[in-house]
Amino acid sequence: MKDFTTLHLVLKHHWFDKIVSGEKTSEYRECSDYWNKRLTNKHFDTVVFHKGYTNTTATYKIISIDITTQPNDLGADKCWEIKLKNILT
């Protein structure tokens, strides 16, 4: 049996609702020392989004985690893009 690795991310209510509704299919994190260390050369199968600091969560499969220069929510020139597949719970 394969061990799944899970990334946990806390989101503001607005972004959480957009992901759960299907309007937003990627989550972004800036290319800072913190996120570079946390995401470089790591593999995550799933992500659990926490709606603020409430007990409300949503779990998604991860398609990929890559650095992108495409336009994004952060308005950053370069950031991490976590592409989401489908909701699990």
**pLDDT tier at 74 (50, 70, 90 boundaries)?**
confident
SS3 assignment for the chain: CCCCCEEEEEECHHHHHHHHHCCCCEEEEECCHHHHHHHCCCCCCEEEEEECCCCCEEEEEEEEEEEECCCCCCCCCCEEEEEEEEECC
**pLDDT tier at 3 (50, 70, 90 boundaries)?**
low
pLDDT 10s digits, 32-42: 999 999 999 99
